[in-house]
Structure 1
Amino acid sequence: MTESPLQADAAAVERIAAARRQIHEQLSQIIVGQTDVIEELLISLISRGHCLLEGVPGLAKTLMISSLAKTLNLSFSRIQFTPDLMPADITGTEIIEENRSTGHREFRFLEGPLFSNIVLADEINRTPPKTQAALLEAMQERQVTVGRVRHELADPFFVLATQNPIEQEGTYPLPEAQQDRFMFKVYVKYPNFDDEFEIARRTTGGAKGEISPVLSGEELIELQKIVREVPITDHVIRYALSLVRQTRVGAAGTPDFVQDLVSWGAGPRAVQFLILGGKARALLHGRTHVSTDDIKALAKPVLRHRVSVNFAADSDGITPDDVIDRILESTPTKEDELTSDARFQKIFAS
């Protein structure tokens, strides 16, 4: 059996793990805590995925993303989404400009803030659906169309969006189709007592941390290629598939509690993101194989915005995370348990 390129280049794997540690060290000069959030951002970046962060105002979501862009030495732009923001404000527009050499007027495309490596869509749910929809083509196709002309976006290209909880006033919930374009939905929570103490001490003093670049855009593109070379066993793919298929109401093998609590579940894109995220997580931790623990660790950020609980569950305070927890608890991880359980045989065969 011939070695895969990844197995043959163990040094590359070590470089990736070292880069992860260095990025955490650099960000720790600016950001206190939020280790899991930073980890999930890194996984989405090297998986070529976009990320949605949700949390109340004041939790340093914007600062975290702009600081991450500095560690990667990438171009960065921030779009503050407001109720009066128009699609052309983010994609760019054509303007009429006089050519001084010929004296003729001609159209020239003026690039919008989407033409950067990392785009921070700040408070994306503060703007109406028409402008939210302008992100769809950019996120999926990595291009924008203005005046029937397609314009390629930068490579690498990531949209990292923040939103406030939808219960707050003045918000427009993202449509399901647009949420599905995001690889992860990450919850940014309040810091614990010790972290908040350190935040208060740092931000009220005179000292400021300086961030040094760890990776370049070219190196990041190479990492994205290496991610897809990480081997994964059929067993781990079946495990990821079983988690996703159990969220689908009316499908074979769906648990009774899902039938009772869920309106609709995750589509095939969730399986793809679970597998890619598992590969990226394994690399960042210095491993050349994916385990079921990698899939379990990413189940919530991948599935929580793709699983919708019904009215009865919502009224009882049951969240998508609660449903995902129950699915994880009831799903066997060992290969012999998966293959011997009739319920999962039914899932895999359907």
Structure 2
Amino acid sequence: MTELLRVQGLVKHFPIRKGVLRRQVGWVRAVDGLDFGVAAGKTLSLVGESGCGKSTTGRLLARLIEPTEGRVWLEADELTALPPARLRARRRDIQIMFQDPFSSLSPRLTVAEIIAEPLRVQGLYRSVGGRNRVLELLELVGLRPEHAYRYPHEFSGGQRQRIGLARALALEPKVLILDEPVSALDVSVQAQVVNQLQDLQQRLGLAYVFISHNLSVVRHLSDQIAVMYLGMIVEQGSREQLYQRPRHPYTKALLSAVPIPDPDRRDDRERIRLTGDVPSVSNPPSGCRFRTRCWKAQDVCATTPPPLTELTADGHLSACHFPENVDHDN
């Protein structure tokens, strides 16, 4: 399947500065070499604990911040090499929906002005019939026409997130980056927003990069999943591969913490409690970055970084010297 969005060797290091002269004393290695792709109509989820680099990756894909190294392709265009004028036009095809519905919308603008803003920035408002386009987008995300002339403070969190979705869809993008789009919402509202995202993907053929720490939501929405730890991908595979046969100890620990609603099944699963704190991204451990919290760590883990490799011919990638569940694969 042809990939619509492709990432190779993506790196983002933020400088650490101290003192009156603001001299650089180190780097925050927020994203440290990512490779992945996503096809049209499919969803790739980036999961992991807070601080693993998920949101930074989303902003790099949208070129809201510049990468330190690496390349990002959207179809045949390398976004990381495009001149400003060409990049401005290609921004229409890759949009981002932010995490917090309460801070991502300007309180001074009406809903109609918020949704129309991308059209005005791109100089398309008149050519697409701006007012009618805004009303179409409101209907598309399940809001009513009279909502267009209200302000964000008049809406619930779920409605605000729909407004953010309408704004992201205004330019008819091909790729939508969803940065924790349901984490600030009630559980019942989360289900509504996730179902709407699935419906829009089927209708419009969108590719999603879904950023989340909620593995229950990720399981419902994803085709492919990449598990991140301290700025790196430690496991990547299909939804079935990761949830049924996780190979990296970190993935296994994350899955063991997912709540099970059926009380009869809770005692059947081993709960893995990770010890120690998450290491600093400015000074990550040598070798395998997860080794300081891993119950399987041995001497080789401290000296040799495990490559992200395909252990069997099924596309399931893992970066571990002593992976789980390999003997059970066909």
Q: Settle same-fold status: TM greater than 0.5.
A: no
What TM-score results when the alignment is normalised by the length of structure 1? 0.36
What TM-score results when the alignment is normalised by the length of structure 2? 0.38
Between Structure 1 and Structure 2, the one with more helix by share is: 1
